[in-house]
Homo-oligomer: A and B are copies of this chain.
Amino acid sequence: MISISSTTINPDQLRDALVDPRAGAYCSFEGWVRNRNEGHDVLSLEYEAYEPLAITEGKKVIAEALQKFPGLHAQCVHRVGKLEIGECAVWVGVTSAHRDEAFQACRYIIDEVKHRLPIWKKEYYVNGDSGWVNCERCQSHAQSAD
């Protein structure tokens, strides 16, 4: 259902695992490392996950998705470690009888995965800086607390 991977994600293989003769619709989402984020030129990035809870929470997310938008199968894989531009950071795939459920469940899973799983992203910029994404407030508070 959900896994954390330290090696390249293979969407093709993951897709094939969801094949089902009852499935009329397959929706997939991939998050790719892009070369800019919030005005910064990004060189690469690094994901860190706390795997035990990422798995527990990810399973909940997938179960919720398949309950809210009845589908057949859903799977998610999240990368950890260092990633280069263009690499796949997260993959979600859903099959269902009809397309509406596949789209909605897929969207639900990626939205919740981004907000709920203990996974953190550190960006390395072209100018040599680096920073943890979404952590400006804790960083600036950290600095003012020094």
A19: Cβ under 8 A from any B Cβ: yes
B residues less than 8 Å from A12 (CB atoms): 11-12
Least Cβ distance of A133 to chain B in Å? 12
Please give the residue numbers on chain A whose beta carbons come within 8 Å of chain B beta carbons, in ascending order: 11-12, 15, 19, 21-37, 85-86, 95, 97, 99, 102-103, 106-107, 110
Bound-complex Cα distance A26 to B25 (A): 17
> Are B29 and A24 in touch, CB under 8 angstroms?
no
19 contacts between A and B (CB under 8 A): A12-B12, A19-B32, A21-B34, A21-B85, A21-B86, A22-B35, A22-B36, A23-B86, A24-B32, A24-B37, A25-B30, A26-B28, A27-B27, A27-B29, A27-B106, A34-B97, A99-B110, A103-B103, A103-B106
B residues less than 8 Å from A107 (CB atoms): 103
| Identical chains in the assembly | 2
B residues less than 8 Å from A34 (CB atoms): 21-24, 97
> Are A30 and B21 in touch, CB under 8 angstroms?
no
B residues less than 8 Å from A23 (CB atoms): 32, 34, 86
B residues less than 8 Å from A21 (CB atoms): 34-35, 85-86
B residues less than 8 Å from A103 (CB atoms): 29, 103, 106-107
Among B22, B29, B36, the residue within 8 A (CB) of A25 is B29
